[in-house]
Structure 1
Amino acid sequence: MAIETQNPLPIHYRKARAWFSVFACPRRRAEELLPDPKLSPALVFPGLAALVVAVFDFEDTSIGPYREVGIGVPCRYRRSSAVPLVPLLAEKYLDDVGPWVQFMAVTTEAANEAGRRHWGYPKFVAEIDIRADDARMRCVVSEKGEKILEVDVERPGPSKPIRFPVRTYTRLSDELLLTEFHVDAMGSIRRMGAKAGIRFEGHPRVGSLRELGVSGERPIEVRWCDAYRTELDRARARYRIGY
């Protein structure tokens, strides 16, 4: 498979699978992870923010195949919401909703370097084992043989065409970057009654996430994508941190 190096951006994701799960966590603890006071957690219930866990199996991309696990807190910039939001639903109607990316593991140095250089994603190279069949996905992330976390997701329903935007907040030097891309997928979404789990081990890379006190077996939302296509380009907006 040829890796496109002459024009590295946008990165094209031509064939992939993806799994998303959202869990509630205390707002106060979530706020402690954010790099700028103008970035506020999107609330899912009064006093409760959310944690999004995303698992990707990128089989065909312009920087080669790789796997990725990203975790973040859905936020808004300079705005707050009068009513609680379902983060992955609000993304369609509020153009500033997206997770502050706190953790991101990838399996190749090419993905690690591109993510850090262009967007400031907090990437590191790790081992990511994904076992998936038609009903369930299990993912284990390890570094040098030491287990970091485990994610389980059950299929929420039959697949159908779905499209949705994804936005992320990251830090690059003294700037906060808002990046947006649009996903074309075959998959399913479920909120009430969805089944997924997240377990953080004692690894230092997830110390701050472990302290969130996430209810790891009661997801707010699950999204399962049998097919996932998108492209990732430069940040849509940049904000000076602290200004």
Structure 2
Amino acid sequence: MARHLIQGREVATPVRIRDAMACTASYLVRADAARAVIAYSGLDVVEVLPGKALCTLAFLDYTEGDLGAYHEFGVTFLVRPPEAGPAPRRGLRRGLSELLRDGAGVFVHWLPVDQGFTLEAGRTIWGFPKELADIDLRLSSPYKRCVVRQDGRLVLDLLLRPGLPVPAPGLTARTDAYTHLDGVTRRVPWSVAPRGGRVRPAGALIRLGNHPVARELSELGLPGGAFLTATASHVTMRFEEAKTL
């Protein structure tokens, strides 16, 4: 067990999130554009279809955990593990669950939060690219909405329509999250257990603002239709100690 001193408070890994609500919208984007966006990391995206990568936008309401209560928004990409070697030949890729079993992970490209403690903890412990932003979550109705603003500029306004219930008793997904900060890429073993899940094809409405991240998303092809949207009313997570690549 490693211990970290954050703003005068000790945080030990693994860090546990005991309850959160999570909402995601996944998009099939041009693989060449996605590679250009994350080139700084030294990682490569997974082509889930020929010429297509998976970009997922996520917003979360953390209500109980080792880092306190806060809101978070994330821009992530499905990536190949660094040790995977040359990319496979183009062609129809395998299912997502098989890709994860083979070591595909989630690269966290941008991760604004609305509280200073989790910002410092995330950057210090794991190298997560956390930044402060205004994150307005509206989660009380079946429609879930997230509005992100930073430095007075709109990043995006994202609305998710409700999906169909997906029973997942006892399901725990284990994968690696990848981060890059101050020139260093890290691997973070990560597990997540959702309950109260709903999933549907499409189901997202998005309006982009004039923030640089909004322009980046536009270059990826957003606000085109989402491939898949998902919500989970209760999520627990566990983040292990980061390892430098």
Question: Common fold, TM-score beyond 0.5?
Answer: yes
Q: State the partner residue of 2:93.
A: 84
User: For the residues of structure 2 that align with 1:238 and 1:32, how far apart are their CA atoms?
Assistant: 22
Q: CA RMSD in A?
A: 2.5
Match of 1:116 among 111, 118, 123: 123
On the 8 A contact 2:17/2:62 being kept in 1, the answer is yes
Aligned equivalent of 1:211, options 201, 211, 219: 219
**Percent identity of paired positions between Structure 1 and Structure 2:** 24
TM-score, length basis structure 1: 0.84
The answer on whether the counterparts of 2:29 and 2:54 sit within 8 Å (CA) in structure 1 is yes
- So what's the TM-score if we normalise by structure 2? 0.84
User: Equivalent of 1:60, from 59, 64, 76?
Assistant: 64
| TM-superposed deviation, 1:153 | 1.4
How many Å separate the matches in 2 of 1:21 and 1:90? 20
How do 1:2-151 residues align onto structure 2 when only pairs under 5 Å count? Answer: 5-35=9-39, 39-78=43-82, 79=84, 80-82=87-89, 83-85=92-94, 87=96, 89-90=97-98, 92-95=100-103, 97-151=104-158
Report the Cα offset of residue 227 of structure 1. 0.3
CA spacing shift, 1:85–1:114, aligned 2, 3 Å: farther
Question: Which residue in 2 is equivalent to 1:198?
Answer: 206
The question of whether the paired residues in 2 share the 8 Å contact of 1:189 and 1:221 is answered with no
**Letter of the aligned partner of 2:203 in structure 1?**
K
Unaligned runs of 5+ in 2: 1-6
| Structure showing the higher helix proportion among its residues | 2
Q: Which amino acid aligns with 1:59?
A: T
User: 1-side partners of 2:127 and 2:216: how far apart?
Assistant: 19
8 Å contact from structure 1 (residues 42, 85) kept in 2: no
Match of residue 188 from structure 1 = 197
Number of residues of Structure 1 aligned to a counterpart in Structure 2: 232
CA distance in 2, matches of 1:106, 1:37: 21
Asked if structure 2 preserves the Cα contact closer than 8 Å seen for 1:25 and 1:51, the reply is yes
Q: Whole-Å Cα distance in 1 between the matches of residues 189 and 24 of structure 2?
A: 17
Deviation at 1:102, TM superposition (A): 1.6
Shift, 1:38, TM fit: 5.4
What CA deviation, in whole Å up to 9, does each residue of 1:157-177 have, x standing for no partner? 125334323432111444321
